[in-house]
Amino acid sequence: MYKVGIDVGGTNTDAVILDEKLNLIHQVKMPTSEDIESGIVSALKKVLEESGINREKVTHAMLGTTQCTNAIVERKKLAKVGVIRLGYPATASVLPYTAWPEEMVTVLSGEYRLAGGGYEYDGQVLSLFSEEEIRGILREWNGEVEAVAVVGVFSSLKNDQELRVAELVKEVMGEEIPVSCSSMIGSVGLIERENATILNSALFKVIAMTSNGFENALKEEGINDAQVFLCQNDGTLMSIDYARKYPILTIACGPTNSIRGASYLAGIKDAMVLDVGGTTSDIGVLTGGFPRESSLAVDVGGVRTNFRMPDIISIGLGGGSIVREVNNEVTIGPDSVGYRITEEALVFGGNTLTTTDIAVRLGVAVVGNPELVAHIDEAFAKQAYAKIAVMTEEAIDKMKTSNNDTTVVLVGGGSIIIPRQLNGVKEIIHNENGAVANAIGASISQISGQYEQIYIYSQISRDEARIDAEERARQQAILAGAKVETIELVEIEEIPLAYHPGNATRLRVKVVGELT
């Protein structure tokens, strides 16, 4: 039994094979291709051939991809979306797409309608929901939009109207038109949830190409019976069918995978993770084996969402960062030679002084030809190295939640430039396989389920509400492919609603389990 994990990054596509005990059997790194798919195919081919494993014994294949993130950032391959907001006359003071980048709205067509419907905070109907009104909107859109996003006021309380709209879309516009319901995507906060739902709808074409490409690549390599998954940004997996419905959940899974992979390699569940790439370094916090989530509203390609995201800070420091002397001061980055490091860095015979050259000059790293950096003044190199330490220390300190010294797990291709003694750091754990932490993270991911609803504690007891929410979260996890007996509760969040007479509380529950 083997698992194949693939991570498609901006620079490299990594592939790893793990055995049933999650031991790393083999790893490869290939350049990411323009079309993504051919890079996946060649990485897959190489890791399978070099490892020589029996392909029929591959039971699981996982893909971590930045394609959806890139599609949003580059505004490419996005679908034309029609947005239906249920709740009129409420909410008309801030219309859909307010504060979106203009070119993004143009690409998505900017079509929206405010219709009757929605609920009050206590579950009463806000305004009359009319199927005829919805049918009329959909008839108008027929042939104009490629996907529909529907968002109802307080749909986290009751989502039957949203689900009915989804049925009507199929009825009027045909079975093949994808629909995203906001209640399945985001939490309370209409604007942010609506934005996430629109983005989700816009990504249907991208995710179809990616997931089909991955399935085809597997087939081509003779892997026919494996379960196929995509990585989510909370360190868990989803089935490929689930991913086709909720492509937005793949956003930012890269940093999450590296944090999870680092946790696995280091064998610890609570630490800070420093992932050093060619141009930037990401720092995240691992708590209980999962990345700490950001508590702020998160911008995705200039669009505000309340979508869960790992709490990551990035600094402009990597193995390819350019080192300069300006007015007797050393500066590092933020520009970098990036993937051209093997041509441009001094140790590889190039003409640009990089952080990697500094590390080689001081003898803390062994790559390329050390003779090519022997001419660098030692005092200057030490100064640059000290600067690298300070940049790293400051970034680590920003992520700390106490002033105790922390354990840092160091991963990523550029990690050779990081000093092994840092202020505020108790211990640096480094693993020889750290360079493919992303792909390892992808292949060891678990399955999660989440549920959020407003419960009225005067009508349902707190314990019953928790049991109900946990059960619904479990159902979500099972739907996504979790093994029933391994599912455990990992998070409960309760937020009482002010002014409400019935002790209403927003309850969010998350469970995680191993995959079947």
Partner 1 sequence: MRYLNEEAIENIAVGAAFLGTGGGGDPYIGKMMALSAIKENGPVQLLSPEEVGNDDFFIPAAMMGAPSVLIEKFPKGDEFVRVFQKLGHYLNKEVKGTFPMEAGGVNSMIPIVVAAQLGLPLIDCDGMGRAFPELQMVTFHLNGVSSTPMAITDEKGNIGIMETIDNKWTERIARVATVEMGASSLVSIYPCTGEQLKKYSVKNIITLSEQIGQIIRSNSEDETIKLRELLEITNGYHLFDGKITDVERNTKGGFNRGCVTLDGLEQYAGENVQVFFQNENLVAQKNGKPIAMTPDLICLVDLETLNPITTESLKYGKRVRVLALPSDPQWRSEKGIETVGPKYFGYDLSYTPLEELVRKEV
Pattern of binders to partner 1 over 276-295, x per CB under 8 A?
A: ----------------x--x
Residue with tokens 């937005």: 248
**Nearest by Cα to 419 from 398, 444, 447, 390:** 390
Residues 146-165 close enough to bind partner 1 by CB under 8 A: 153-154, 156
* From candidates 42, 59, 105, 121, binder to partner 1 by CB under 8 A: 121
Residue 334 phi, psi dihedral angles, 5° rounding:
-75, -5
Q: Does 402 bind partner 1 (CB under 8 A)?
A: yes
* From candidates 403, 432, 463, 485, binder to partner 1 by CB under 8 A: 403
* From candidates 31, 288, 334, 496, binder to partner 1 by CB under 8 A: 496
Considering beta carbons, is residue 116 or 419 the nearer one to partner 1? 116
* From candidates 87, 178, 277, 319, binder to partner 1 by CB under 8 A: 87
Total number of residues binding partner 1 (CB under 8 A)? 45
Pattern of binders to partner 1 over 296-335, x per CB under 8 A?
A: -x------x-------------------------------
Considering beta carbons, is residue 297 or 362 the nearer one to partner 1? 297
The pair of three-digit structure tokens given for residue 5, joined into one six-digit string: 């994990």
* From candidates 135, 340, 382, 500, binder to partner 1 by CB under 8 A: 500
Cα–Cα distance between 312 and 329 in angstroms, integer? Answer: 29
* From candidates 42, 70, 127, 407, binder to partner 1 by CB under 8 A: 127
CA 248 to chain centre: 9
- The terminus-to-terminus CA distance of the chain in angstroms comes to 13
Stretch that binds partner 1, among 6-14, 186-194, 357-365, 387-395 (CB under 8 A): 186-194
Pattern of binders to partner 1 over 101-120, x per CB under 8 A?
A: -----------------x-x
The pair of three-digit structure tokens given for residue 34, joined into one six-digit string: 């323009």
The pair of three-digit structure tokens given for residue 168, joined into one six-digit string: 């009507």
Q: Does 123 bind partner 1 (CB under 8 A)?
A: no
Residue 466 CA: distances (Å) to CA of 121, 211, 463, 472: 19, 35, 5, 10
Q: Is the separation of the CB atoms in 185 and 232 below 8 Å?
A: no
Q: Does 504 bind partner 1 (CB under 8 A)?
A: yes
Cα–Cα distance between 60 and 445 in angstroms, integer? Answer: 11
Residue 208 phi, psi dihedral angles, 5° rounding:
-65, -45
Considering beta carbons, is residue 489 or 495 the nearer one to partner 1? 495
The half-sphere exposure of 426 on its side-chain side, counting CA atoms within 13 A, is: 8
Residue with tokens 């407003």: 454
Q: Does 423 bind partner 1 (CB under 8 A)?
A: no
Cα–Cα distance between 211 and 23 in angstroms, integer? Answer: 26
CA 428 to chain centre: 25
Q: Are strands 488-496 and 504-513 parallel, antiparallel or unpaired?
A: antiparallel
Considering beta carbons, is residue 292 or 466 the nearer one to partner 1? 292
Q: Does 466 bind partner 1 (CB under 8 A)?
A: no
Site residues (CB under 8 A) for partner 1?
Answer: 87-95, 98-99, 118, 120-122, 124, 126-127, 153-154, 156, 188-191, 292, 295, 297, 304, 398, 401-403, 494-501, 503-506
